[in-house]
Every structure is written in C-alpha cells, then in structure tokens.
Amino acid sequence: MAKLDRSTMIRILSVALTTSLLVLPLLLQAEPAGEEAEPLPAPPLALELDTEVTVFPPLVISEALAPEGAMSLVEVPPVVDGVGVIGHLLPDVTVALDEHEASSSEPALDVPTVVTAPADPIVPPPTTQLSVTLDWYLNPQHATLLIAREKGMFLRRGLDVALVVPADPNVPAKLLAAGRTDLALGRQTQLHLLVDGGMPLVRIATLIAAPVSGLMLRANADLEKQELALEGMRIGYTDVDGRDAMLQSVLSELLGTANGLDLVELQDTNYAMLDAMRAQDVDGMMMHHRYLLPRQLADEGILTHTLPIEEFGLPLHDGLILMANRDQLNGKRDALRRFVSALEEAALWLVNHPLEAWALLEKAEPALADPINREAWSGIAPRFSLQPAAVDKGRYLRLEQYLLDAGIIEVPTPLERLAIDLGTATP
C-alpha cells in the first residue's frame, strides 16, 4: 500500500472533524422512542423581546429518515469570512504545501531588473590628422580629394584630412621637405628634378595619370606660322620643371635643336600667367592647367592655341601626384595607406557617377560652379587614376632616362627613391 503523504492525511482528518461537528447536534436532539417530550413553558404574552432573531436558510442534508418517514432538516450556520474555527485548529496546509513544492522543484531563476541609469556615451575612435598642401587653388583636378572628404571616405578610415591652398604655388614641395606638411601635390616631372636637387621627396600616389600641361600660344596666326615663328618669342614659365623639362622638350622638337631654350626669351611669371597674357608681356605660357586657362582667357577675348606636352617629345608621365617626405614615412605608413585607399574609392565613384560627382563638387566648393570649370570637367574626369597606389615603374624609369640623356639631370636616381607603392589598406 502506498504511503499517504502529510498533506493528504491532513485533508482526511479535516473532513472527519467537520462531519463529527455536524452530526453531534442531531445526536443531542434525539429522544428515546415512545416517550413524549414535555412541552416547554411559553413566555408571558406581555413580555416584549428586544432581541432580533435571524433565521438562516436551512441546508437540507439527506442523512437518514426520521421515524415518521420524514426527512430531518439540519440548519447550517452561515458562511463567515476568514479561516473560521476549524481553520484555526488546523495547521497551515498552504504553507506546508508551498514548502514541499519548493523543496521538490528546481531553484527559481533570478529575474533581471530594469536598468534605469543612462548608458555610457560611445567614445568615437581616435582619428589621425593629415595635412595636404595643394599645388594651386582648388579646381577640378583635385576632385578625388574633395569627393573623399565630402562623402566621408577619409573619416570612415579614421582620418581627419585638411586641404591647404598655398599662398605661393612654389612652396608646397619646400614645406614638405621641411616637415611642415604631411603631403604635397606636384607633377612627376617636378618630382624627378626635386629629388635630383637633394630633397627627400617620394611619390606615394597618383591622382591624375596623364599629362595636363601644355604650351599655350597666342592665336594671332595659323599653327604653321606659329611653329616657324617660335624663335625669338617671349615664353613664360612658372617653375623649374616647366622650363627645364617641358619647355625644352617642346622647343627642341619644334625647332629641331637641343638648345631650343636659347632661341626664345624666357620670363618667370611666377604663376601670374593670366596677368602676363592680358598685358601681352608674353607670347606664350608653359602651363599645368591646360583645361582651365585657355577657356578663361577666351571669355576675356584672348584667343589661344594649346600644344599638349606629351605630343612633343616628352615621355608620358603622371600629371598630378601626391608626394611625401621620405625621411618621415616610418610613423605614417598606416595612415597613408588608409589615405590612398580613400582616394581609390573616390576615383571609382567618380568614374561611375561623373555627373553626380560634379554636382557634389559644386555643392562642396561653390567657387567651382562656373562655366569654365564645368567645361574643364569633361576633359579632366577621364584622366583620374583608378589605382592611385600603383607605380608604373617603366614610366618613371623612362622619364628619368630622358632627363639624364637631355642633360637636365647628371646622376640617375634609383626607382625606389622616386616612387613607392604603399598598397591600400583594407577599407
């Protein structure tokens, strides 16, 4: 036989005790058979009762038949709130059951509380600051730099890039050599001559992979007569590579002599090219923005003709490059890799969305929103390098050899001191 647990035994005893208490009045009221009960004396009629007797509805219980065959009626006291008399006599079964269930069940899991305190602020990742000194005032040739800045490509790589417009376009390379800027824009021809002069500069990226320089001549005669009349012309220039590399190459090709520079009158205009052409101080200019200046002069009524530099003897070269200080690369390589990676992303987006790119440039720099820059955009946009980190080794070696053969430099410079491929970091 299964052993009854404590809770079941308590319930059985409770039922038995209740039944006993209900049957006890019936036993007390029963009288011996055959004897008539003596009637109780009635109270005086004149007596007024002050108490009020309430008779509760009877509860009929079919226990047993009375001797006369009628069913005996048992009045049950009303239900009262609380545990009652019996409840006070019995042990607290609920508590016992709760203790039993708690002992036999698994331990309760901790309920998480709600945190009302504000979360700690998110600390932004550290950023690396880089300064880039431009080669001239902001123009469409700087598009990849502007796009990378405006579309957050620098910022996503942890870079805070400042684009600095130089007061004098001749000083960016000097500032870079002195460690006063992190990067500087220039041309491949300029780089070869500066390194040959002892400056610790090295190319780390290419922005525009095709020449953008040219010889601009006044259009006061047809091209044939201008070519024949170059001797004795007043030709302006802005920098050393424009004079010694580019202009010498064009004049040697057109005049058929290696001493072409000696057959013209050279003038250093120091980037005041437009003023020199307006004042007719020069008959022509060696310029590095051939998609901008001729149209600007044409709007002022000065007609010109431009000879592309790459069509007159000078080997193909990078038109716009980023230079770094070779002696200060060790602590900046990672940041520069991320910088070049942003330029690569910007160049690809530009090629995929040329119209949107131009709209972004106009919004970022309202000074670009003019007909001259809009017209120049169609000629400049296809020339941006899609692989700015990559080095065309043959291109740099060929130009170095050309300058050496022309007597422009005396000692060749090893390729690794001219240009390096830092590679691009993971975006």
Residue 301: give its domain's CATH number: 3.40.190.10
Reported as a single tens digit per residue, the pLDDT across 49-61 is 455 555 555 544 4
Q: What is the pTM of this model?
A: 0.70
179 part of a folded domain: yes
Rounded to whole angstroms, the Cα distance separating 88 from 75 reads 23
pLDDT at 97: 47
**Do residues 377 and 410 share a domain?**
yes
Mean of pLDDT values over 365-386:
95
**Do residues 224 and 296 share a domain?**
yes
367 part of a folded domain: yes
Residue 356 pLDDT more than 70?
Answer: yes
Confidence of residue 65 (pLDDT cuts 50, 70, 90): very low
Q: Between helices 354-364 and 371-380, what is the axis angle to 10°?
A: 140
Mean of pLDDT values over 358-376:
96
Tell me how many domains the chain contains: 2
**Do residues 221 and 305 share a domain?**
yes
Residue 283 pLDDT more than 80?
Answer: yes
Mean of pLDDT values over 370-393:
95
Q: In whole numbers, what is the pLDDT of the chain averaged over residues? A: 83
Residue 69 pLDDT more than 90?
Answer: no
**Do residues 137 and 265 share a domain?**
no
pLDDT at 64: 44
Task: Tell me how crowded residue 415 is: count the other CB atoms within 10 A of its CB.
Answer: 14
- Give 128's contacts (C-beta < 8 A, 6+ positions apart): 158, 159, 160, 335, 338
Query: DSSP character for 244?
Result: I
**Do residues 185 and 248 share a domain?**
no
Give the domain-ending residue among 252, 277, 311.
311
Query: DSSP character for 166?
Result: -
306 part of a folded domain: yes
**Do residues 260 and 402 share a domain?**
no
pLDDT at 84: 58
CB-count burial class (<10 Å; 0-12, 13-18, 19+) for 3: exposed
How is residue 45 written in tokens? 């009629």
**Do residues 261 and 330 share a domain?**
no
Residue 151 pLDDT more than 60?
Answer: yes
Is the Cβ–Cβ distance between 345 and 388 less than 8 Å? no
Q: Say which range, 253-262, 272-281, 333-342, has the weakest mean pLDDT.
A: 253-262
286 part of a folded domain: yes
How is residue 406 written in tokens? 């022309």
**Do residues 283 and 198 share a domain?**
no
pLDDT at 32: 52
**Do residues 232 and 351 share a domain?**
no
**Do residues 154 and 134 share a domain?**
yes
Give the domain-ending residue among 311, 346, 375.
311
291 part of a folded domain: yes
Confidence of residue 155 (pLDDT cuts 50, 70, 90): very high
9 part of a folded domain: no
Residue 168 Rama label (left phi>0; alpha psi -120 to 50; beta): beta
Residue 189 pLDDT more than 60?
Answer: yes
102 part of a folded domain: no
**Do residues 202 and 325 share a domain?**
yes
How is residue 267 written in tokens? 């003038």
Instruction: Look up the domain containing 249 and give its range.
Output: 214-311
Query: DSSP character for 283?
Result: S
Give the domain-ending residue among 311, 330, 351.
311
Confidence of residue 80 (pLDDT cuts 50, 70, 90): low
**Do residues 296 and 335 share a domain?**
no
Edge-to-edge strand list for the sheet holding 201-208: 159-164, 128-133, 183-186, 320-325, 201-208
63 part of a folded domain: no
Reported as a single tens digit per residue, the pLDDT across 88-143 is 555 554 544 455 555 555 555 565 565 566 777 776 678 999 999 999 999 999 99
